[in-house]
Amino acid sequence: MLVLGIETSCDETAVALVENGRTILANRVLSQTPLHEKFGGVVPEIASRAHVESITAVIESAFDDAGLDLESSRTSIGGIAVAYRPGLVGSLLVGVTAAKCLALAWDLPLIGVDHIHAHIYAAIMAADDAHESEILPAISLVVSGGHTALYFTESWTSHLFLGGTMDDAVGEAFDKVASILGLGYPGGPAISRAAEKGDRRAVRFKASFMKKDSLDFSFSGIKTAVLYHTRGQNARRGAAILPGVSIADVSASFQEVAVSILVEKLARAMRREGARVAIVGGGVSANRRLREDLDELARKEEYRILYPPLALCTDNAAMIAGLGYWLLRDGKRDDLTLDADPVVAR
């Protein structure tokens, strides 16, 4: 069954066509980065306007990529899946409205998909041998620009919240630290590149692991520590970078501590739940250093870890269409009252 997926939760306008939850026929992602980079982050009002301007063209392009004719393809599609939470509400609304229009016009089932759950599914859809009975239960770690959370994954469509960030998301911390270091937006890839040339032991930023058994995260203290180290104690963002500060060393040292928190929390959750499989997803799961350290943990503890391919780490609609297929099979249907919801489900 072919599912059309739409994702507009943040600053990517994305549309995909996916067969049986696995085979990607089209996966269009139009990034708005050029519109936001001069502000050092996503400006919600600009994001929603840009989604409105491009959503129709991105839908048309996805049908072209799949070799399907938009006008006559209604009969080959089984459902319209759309990311309806969490995210920027004005951005989500554009995708939700487009999905409702298509579902109404074509008389097709509408399926609201949780964007965070879809980030987990991105790793599953890429693993050919991933069948629920072999992989589950698993612990899932979502590390993105807006979210950092651990889940106990019972099925492709059911995830119990175990812990999440108390302040900044890890991707947000990468973005803010990149801005402090003058590395531009988006910060994750920029820090990761700068860190390649740096010494990860150069600066000891203190990791916050919270209470002994806690599965919650905190990243804002490290961000402030980077600011003070780079621009002076109690400095503001605009202050000049101190002489002698190595951007590469600070990037590598920050990345090291951020990664160590993610690895430790995943290890705690795996131990506590006795799980043997970990699933990682979200934009930060593209980070090479994170993958190296998680792979090391997996080797030591004999876990299996699933990651998405790089193209499916950051926001995309293939993961929405993929998970939409399973929700449809579970009998999930939404009606035209489906609303955008900015809040993370716990």
287 binds ligand KG4 (CB under 6 A): yes
Question: For residue 331, what are its two tokens?
Answer: 């009998």
Q: Which one of residues 137, 189, 232, 342 is an interface residue with ligand KG4 (CB under 6 A)?
A: 189
Question: For residue 202, what are its two tokens?
Answer: 């150069």
Number of Cβ atoms within 10 Å of the Cβ of 38:
9
> Which residue stretch of 44-52, 142-150, 300-308, 330-338 sits at the interface with ligand KG4 (rule: CB under 6 A)?
142-150
> DSSP assignment, residue 74?
G
Site string for ligand KG4, 92-131 (x = CB under 6 A): ----------------------------------------
Q: Which one of residues 27, 91, 140, 144 is an interface residue with ligand KG4 (CB under 6 A)?
A: 144
Positions of E strands within the chain: 2-7, 12-19, 23-31, 77-85, 110-114, 138-143, 148-155, 158-164, 277-281, 304-306
Interface contacts to Zn ion, rule CB under 5 A: 144, 315
* 108 or 176: CB nearest ligand KG4: 176
CA 5 – CA 15 distance, rounded (Å): 6
Query: Which of these, 119, 179, 104, lies nearest to 151 by C-alpha position?
Result: 119
Q: Which one of residues 5, 146, 163, 308 is an interface residue with ligand KG4 (CB under 6 A)?
A: 146
Please return the burial class of 331, using the count of CB atoms within 10 Å of its CB with bins 0-12, 13-18 and 19+: exposed
Asked if residues 322 and 111 have their Cβ atoms less than 8 Å apart, the reply is: no
Number of Cβ atoms within 10 Å of the Cβ of 111:
28
186 binds ligand KG4 (CB under 6 A): yes
Site string for ligand KG4, 150-179 (x = CB under 6 A): ---------------------x--xx----
CB of 308 to Zn ion, least distance (A): 11
CB of 151 to ligand KG4, least distance (A): 15
Q: Which one of residues 78, 90, 164, 188 is an interface residue with ligand KG4 (CB under 6 A)?
A: 188
- State residue 90 phi and psi, 5-degree precision: -65, -35
Dihedral over Cα of 152, 207, 288, 296: its sign: negative
192 binds, among ligand KG4, Zn ion, none (CB under 5 to 8 A by kind): ligand KG4
CB of 211 to ligand KG4, least distance (A): 26
Question: For residue 171, what are its two tokens?
Answer: 């991707």
- How many residues line the site for ligand KG4 (CB under 6 A)? 19
CA 92 – CA 12 distance, rounded (Å): 11
* 275 or 284: CB nearest ligand KG4: 284
48 binds, among ligand KG4, Zn ion, none (CB under 5 to 8 A by kind): none
Residues that bind ligand KG4 (CB under 6 A): 10, 144-146, 171, 174-175, 186-189, 192, 282-284, 286-287, 314-315
